[in-house]
C-alpha cells in the first residue's frame, strides 16, 4: 500500500533531528507532498514528525 505524506507546518525552530527526518521524507516546504511505500521505517519517521505532516492512504495503487 502507498501513502501520501504532505508537510503542513514549518521546520523553523524545530529540533535538528526532526528537520533531518523531514528532509529524508523528501519534504522541505509547506504544501510539498511525496508518495512512499507503507513500510515500518517510513511509518517510524512519520510518527516522529507527526505534528508537522499530514498522511493519507492511497487506494488502488
pLDDT of residue 60: 74
Q: How far is CA 23 from the centre of its chain?
A: 9
- pTM for the structure as a whole: 0.91
Q: Are 22 and 52 in contact (CB under 8 A)?
A: yes
What CA–CA distance (Å, rounded) separates 12 from 57? 27
Q: How many domains does the chain have?
A: 1
Start-to-end CA distance of the chain, whole Å, equals 7
What CA–CA distance (Å, rounded) separates 42 from 60? 20
Three cell numbers, residue 23: 528532509
Q: Provide the domain limits for residue 31.
A: 2-58
The pLDDT averaged over each successive group of 10 residues in the chain (61 residues) is 96 97 97 96 97 94 59
CATH number of the CATH domain containing 53: 3.30.1390.20
Which H or E run includes 54? strand 53-58
pLDDT of residue 61: 59
Amino acid at each position: 500500500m502507498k501513502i501520501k505524506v504532505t508537510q503542513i507546518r514549518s521546520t523553523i525552530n524545530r529540533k535538528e533531528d526532526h528537520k533531518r527526518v523531514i528532509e529524508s521524507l523528501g519534504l522541505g516546504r509547506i504544501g510539498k507532498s511525496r508518495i512512499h511505500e507503507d513500510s515500518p521505517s517510513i511509518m517510524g519517521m512519520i510518527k516522529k514528525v507527526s505534528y508537522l505532516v499530514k498522511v493519507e492512504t492511497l487506494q488502488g495503487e
